[in-house]
Structure 1
């Protein structure tokens, strides 16, 4: 594990240990703020303390604020993968709203190093990188959320994932109580997971990626995207055309925020694509399922295919105010939904898929707050 303090590398002018209070702060602190409006599901109770951080220079003030509470705080980016408990959150909630992209040099392999603030929107970073002739993120177009959340989930889609380009993250370690820098190997990136997933030890502050200069995209490896582009799988196309094709495919599934008013309260994929054995893969392929190989060497089947196989129809009600999307086999919330109802729906889907296929789904969504 590689750990460094601010004395080991440039500190961007701030550190908790040597912070001099400024006369003004841009961090807004609110007590009892309902968290439902801060998530794309629109579900959840209030935060005892909610801090909106827009400048990393103010982060030491949040550390001082969090010290008044037991345990580590909860970090919330865009709330696009979060299910907040109906009871809310008694620990401080930090909304990472920092913005900024810097080109900071060149890696040994010639790729361009890009440092990004954790609160920066991922969609904006995709557009920025493509606009500067850099590839590596074009297949991530349309994924909501912040850059700081991408290593946590090892975000990926259509043949690309964060592990392909991550160099390091800079974070605050609530255990050692100092700034640390973790290289990509230390982050333990796997299929939609990392050392950060399910842990409250670190708050990610900045992320460094290595992106390659090219006018053409990475090879198009997913058939649906290739068909949209009218090219063969493995082809390379202008990166902006790849972005538009990915967005079109995602919109067709209702997987771009705002593209479907009826399904707007969503977290996208509620379940991981489960790993399957060779025997299961053969059976599933015989049944018409598409089996995909992932960079971690696993074979996985689509959770949406399993839901369809288990008899869940598009738009069908699963629990109170929770149903299957009209466009894609995933769960969405209707007006008046609760976190209790959404978790009930998750359990119903898991059980029915297990009964019909013998495969157990695992929720991908992050459960935040005070659960019973």
Structure 2
């Protein structure tokens, strides 16, 4: 484990902004985790966990609590579940993209639609990562974690993780640091049904068709690249966190109205109907590439926010607030940011935490993320 004091966190995130960490620990071997636990005893409260930094906005003043970067790697096939699915144990710091490739190479289905999503495996239960019809809740069996309240290692089954639409007991909480995860995947020549039109069209197949997991993954990756939702696919839009906002749930009446307006609506495993946040941004008049706040604009490829030279965390939160307000005024739908806010946030700059106009939040609020 490498420990650094006052390390700037901007370079550890895909947005490339934010202040320093009072203490930054880079953990590559889980056997060294007790050393990090001992290190934190000199600080009040729980530390913050950081993985690949692809869903994080760090406060301009940085973070006064210790920051742990999970860089542990490793995938093990550990047997079969009662239903015949293959059990796979993964270190929390392992890149999700690498895990998806590994499972596809082994002819396993359950994660192929998650290809191209940046970040670590440990981040996936935090907001029940999902895309194009698959979610982590479909395949998660259990996690091992360090409980900072009880100060001991615990094992939580999937039910105890409280997985919901882009949410879990871990989201917005610094109580747990995820260490390892176990997934159950099915050996199959064909992957999950293609439930999203864009992916089906990429394969020139009707919606509902099934293709080998590798073909489905290639199609998803092509769709994501066209939308600028793969890191490194667009140099101009490289400072990004991907989707900034949750796709908001809508009522049946709202769904009918939005459908008449040509909105992109999808049904999710929790039974909800949700409208695309990017469609709402477009409907509210945000043009591709248009500026929203100093150093922050809409991507050239997709309706999401990206950062340019001169951007700051305060400016990014301002841009979030502008989008939330205008979308609400133009569509009547309320957007909520899905990114994690890390560090010590001032009262006046925290309006975007809940997506509400200028209500503020407690000083020093910190969110944990993998």
Q: Does TM, normalized by the shorter one, top 0.5? A: yes
- Structure 1 unaligned runs (5+)? 1-26
1:147-174 deviation line (CA, Å, top 9, x unaligned): 0000001000000000000000000000
- Where does 1:166-315 land on structure 2 (aligned, <5 Å)? 166-315=140-289
How far did residue 296 of structure 1 move? 0.7
User: For residue 78 of structure 1, what is the aligned residue in structure 2?
Assistant: 52
**Displacement after TM superposition at 1:336 (Å):** 1.9
In structure 1, which of residues 135, 138, 162 is the aligned counterpart of residue 109 of structure 2?
A: 135
Query: What pairs up with 1:313-332 in 2 under 5 angstroms?
Result: 313-332=287-306
Aligned residues between the structures: 346
SS of 1:265's equivalent?
coil
Report the Cα distance in structure 2 between the residues aligned to 1:121 and 1:160, rounded to whole angstroms.
Answer: 18
Cα deviation 1:157-198 (Å, max 9, x = unaligned): 000000000000000000011100000001000000000000
**Which string of whole-angstrom CA distances, capped at 9 and with x for unpartnered residues, describes residues 34-73 of structure 1?**
0000000001000000000000000000000011100000
Report what 2:366 is aligned to: none
Runs of at least 4 residues off by over 6 Å: none
Are 1:59 and 2:33 an aligned pair?
yes
Residue in 2 that maps onto 1:107: 81
Structure 2 distance, partners of 1:68, 1:126, is 38
Aligned equivalents of 1:77, 1:365: Cα separation in 2: 13
Structure-2-length-normalised TM-score? 0.93
Q: C-alpha distance in 2, partners of 1:234/1:102?
A: 32
Aligned equivalent of 2:133, options 159, 178, 186? 159
SS at match of 2:124: helix
In structure 2, what is the Cα distance between the partners aligned to 1:331 and 1:38? 19
Distance 1:342 1:77 in 2: 21
TM-superposed deviation, 1:290: 2.0
Q: Could you say which residue in structure 2 is the equivalent of 1:339? A: 313
Name stretches of at least 5 consecutive residues in structure 2 with no aligned partner: 347-370
TM-score (norm 1): 0.93
Root-mean-square deviation (CA, aligned residues, Å) is: 0.5
* Secondary structure at the counterpart of residue 332 of structure 1: strand
Matching residue of 1:362:
336
Whole-Å separation in 1 of the counterparts to 2:94 and 2:237? 25
Please name the residue that 1:21 is paired with.
Answer: none
Task: Find the aligned partners of 2:309 and 2:37 in 1 and give their Cα distance.
Answer: 36
Provide the rounded CA distance (Å) in 1 between the counterparts of 2:15 and 2:136: 24
Determine the structure 2 residue equivalent to 1:348.
322
Q: What is the aligned partner in structure 2 of residue 97 from structure 1?
A: 71
> Which segment drifts farther, 79-88 or 234-243?
234-243
Instruction: Give the equivalent residue in structure 2 for 1:17.
Output: none
